Chain A
């Protein structure tokens, strides 16, 4: 039992970091009143997942996944390119989502003059 934790902290600490980030992100998305903070929480959450992939793909002492005459053909000399590619795409996706979210927020702010969830709900209840 004990050594599991030690290994976990010693070698898998990066995964623990992703877990912490996920919790932070979820908390922000669920609990925060301010919609922008919700959005930030969402980004943290996505960042955590991206990190998960990258951490898995990272190798100590390995080089960029582009063939290099010096390093030769040893697979262990190169990092796994696929997760990086994937996460690049994931970043693009999260950027796009954030863009749309920000556009919505500006629209909300213009229409209701607030981005505080409680106040918004009040306004919704008042208006038909």
Chain B
């Protein structure tokens, strides 16, 4: 459904903006656990950057940036990171997601920071992957959408 359009200005601006968006996204992710922001927002920003590419460059060319097939794996990996963190904490004697039990040899406070950070990263990945795959599925042409 997306019509690819030849427009140099849009192309260039996109090329310039996308890295900044993504860097800001990473900033939001990595400071999420002690200041406003966090995994979801960061992931949404990352996804937004990809959407920008999709919209402006059109589907085919933007695939070089982020391939359709990557959407679900990103989501899976993200959730696995999240669930894995919880499980590790549980395996090492805590409750599910009880970060201070994470085996980093850190005192509870820092272990907790790290744990939350891990979770944030996982969330970011998941949100990004899933938002992108939703977008791709909806914008897919006849047949492609039916596959999944």
Contact = CB atoms under 8 A, between A and B. Distances in A.
Interface of A: 64, 66, 88, 92, 95-96, 99, 102-103, 106-107, 110
B40 A106 contact: no
B145 interface: yes
Interface stretch (B10-18, B20-28, B134-142): B134-142
Contacts, number: 24
Interface of B: 34-36, 40, 127, 130-131, 134, 137-138, 142, 145-146
Contacts of B40: 88, 92
A106 B36 contact: no
Given A66-B35, A102-B138, 8 more contacts: A64-B35, A66-B36, A88-B40, A95-B131, A103-B137, A106-B138, A110-B142, A110-B146
Q: Is the interface of A mostly helix, strand, loop or mixed?
A: helix
A29 B140 CA distance: 27
A106 B134 contact: no
Contacts of A88: 40
B138 A103 contact: yes
